């Protein structure tokens, strides 16, 4: 999947109910990592997340979460992925950046509340996000 590099600054808008679903999913997966595909749209650098998809054939453990990208249908509404870090920080690991998918990678850390989620771009820079 190819995304053009844009010059404008990105922001992430996430719907409250989508955020709640992410947080409860990650809580459920604890102490393993949880991983979900973020659905939404991107316009002028503004990424709006409005839905979630459970990736096919996903594998998770305490320190990893992944799925084979080759099984994904080509779908432009897939804007990125979210996964949890049950321990440690919400910063993307080298592996996370290597497996970057889409436009944004969101990481949730324990204890999975509204302040536990962070958005990152493919270079590992934080993207500001707000809840809508
Ligand atoms: Zn990770």
In DSSP notation, 23-56 reads: HHHHHHHTTS--EEEEEEEEETTEEEEEEEEPPT
For the stretch 32-82, pLDDT in tens is: 999 999 999 999 889 999 999 988 777 777 877 777 766 666 678 999 999
Q: How far is the CA of 88 from the centre of ligand 1 (A)?
A: 10
Q: How far is the CA of 120 from the centre of ligand 1 (A)?
A: 11
Domain boundaries, the chain: 17-58+74-131
Interacting residues of 21 by C-beta distance below 8 A, sequence separation 6+: 52
CATH code at 17-58+74-131: 3.40.140.10
* Residue 107 contacts residue 84 (beta carbons within 8 Å): yes
For the stretch 89-117, pLDDT in tens is: 999 999 899 889 899 999 999 999 999 99
Task: Report the pLDDT value the prediction gives residue 36, as an integer from 0 to 100.
Answer: 94
- Whether the ω angle into residue 65 lies within 30 degrees of 0, i.e. cis, is no
φ and ψ of 84, to 5 deg: -105, 155
Q: How many CA atoms lie within 13 A of 110 on its CB side?
A: 11
Helix (H, G, I), strand (E, B) or coil at 62: coil
**End-to-end Cα spacing for the chain:** 28
Strand 46-53, strand 11-14: pairing: parallel
Q: How far is the CA of 86 from the centre of ligand 1 (A)?
A: 9
Helix (H, G, I), strand (E, B) or coil at 97: helix
CA 37 – CA 106 distance, rounded (Å): 10
CA 20 – CA 32 distance, rounded (Å): 18
Q: How far is the CA of 132 from the centre of ligand 1 (A)?
A: 25
Q: How far is the CA of 85 from the centre of ligand 1 (A)?
A: 6
Q: How far is the CA of 2 from the centre of ligand 1 (A)?
A: 22
């Amino acid at each position: 999947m190819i995304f053009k590099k844009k010059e404008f600054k990105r922001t992430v808008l996430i719907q409250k109910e989508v955020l709640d679903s992410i947080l409860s999913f990650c809580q459920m997966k604890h102490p393993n990592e949880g991983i979900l595909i973020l659905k939404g749209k991107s316009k002028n650098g503004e990424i709006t997340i409005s839905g979630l998809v459970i990736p096919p054939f996903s594998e998770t453990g305490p320190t990893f979460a992944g799925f084979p990208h080759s099984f994904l249908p080509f779908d432009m509404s897939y804007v990125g992925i979210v996964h949890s870090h049950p321990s440690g920080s919400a910063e993307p690991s080298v592996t996370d950046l290597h497996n970057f998918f889409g436009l944004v990678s969101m990481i949730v850390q324990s204890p999975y509340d509204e302040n536990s989620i962070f958005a990152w771009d493919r270079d590992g820079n934080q993207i500001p996000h707000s809840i809508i």
